[in-house]
Amino acid sequence: MNTISFREMHQPGKPFILANAWDLGSAKVLAALGAKALATTSAGHAFTLGLKDMGEITRKQSLEHAAAMVNCTSLPVSGDFENGYGHSPEQVAQAVKLAHEAGLAGCCIEDIELPSEHPYDFSHSVVRIEAAANAAKQCIAQTGRDFVLTARADGIMHGQYDTDEAIRRLRAYQGAGADVLYAPMPPSMDELARICREVSGPVNALAAGPFAKFAVAEFANAGVARISLGSALARLTHATLVNSARRFLGEGDFSSFCEGMDGAEIEAMFDQV
């Protein structure tokens, strides 16, 4: 049982790993192995439904998935809520209210106009985060249960703007009420460290792509407060599926099955949470 709150886990320079699970089994395994907090992953969830990421998962599907994950372990869960399932500030505010009602400890809202990769213009993106933050504050005031809002500057990941613009947006998002700031996949670890220096709130980093080569200590040195996994673990499972299937379907070779875990060992981890 965690002795500190989800909000209190966010300490710049002392990052914790926010483990993104894609289904209830993966959530229970991560909890059994010592994860301090969980998150959903829009891409990982989409893969389980045979859908594509970035706009194909509906708000209803995401909420049902998130609520099920909240109920399957005792860990705090943050929801990957893409762009808030709508372009208007009102739609984003409603998504946050529903996320809080679902029992989530927080959620992420990004600044991309899904299903495109284009960011909302600066002023509209700030108004959207302000609406999300106000909705979170209202929920906290009404229920006494905390909610940590993460604002994402995703345009940097899609090549739509540079680090300067990401920092400008993150500063504005914090001013609008965001609790955690997140610019996924900046050009380098040096640029990530610059983001951490130039914004005053806790920063989330994504351990994926070129950043997967760095250890927790290096993220800590950069000033990161939280390290999330995104869809990395879900993609690893699909890599195993694809590589194994190619061998047995293409070559008649089942030897990759020898690398699998014993079912009883997996089930034993389910019993630990």
The pTM is what? Answer: 0.93
Above 90 in pLDDT, residue 271?
no
Q: Is residue 221 part of a domain?
A: yes
Is 132 a domain residue?
yes
Q: Who has greater pLDDT, 3 or 265?
A: 265
Residue 265 falls inside a structural domain: no
For residue 56, what are the domain limits?
A: 10-233
Residue 72 lies in a domain: yes
Residue 94 has pLDDT above 60, yes or no: yes
CATH number, domain containing residue 70: 3.20.20.60
Classify residue 246: in a domain, yes or no. no
pLDDT, average across residues 22-44 = 96
Give the containing element (helix H, strand E) for 184: none
55-91 residue pLDDT tens: 788 999 999 999 999 999 999 999 999 999 999 999 9
- Contact between 80 and 44 under an 8 Å Cβ cutoff? The reply is no
How many domains does the chain contain in total? 1
CB distance 202 to 10 below 8 Å = yes
* Separation CA 137–CA 144 (nearest Å): 10
Q: 113, 92, 197: which is closest to 158 by C-alpha?
A: 113
pLDDT beyond 70 at 126:
yes
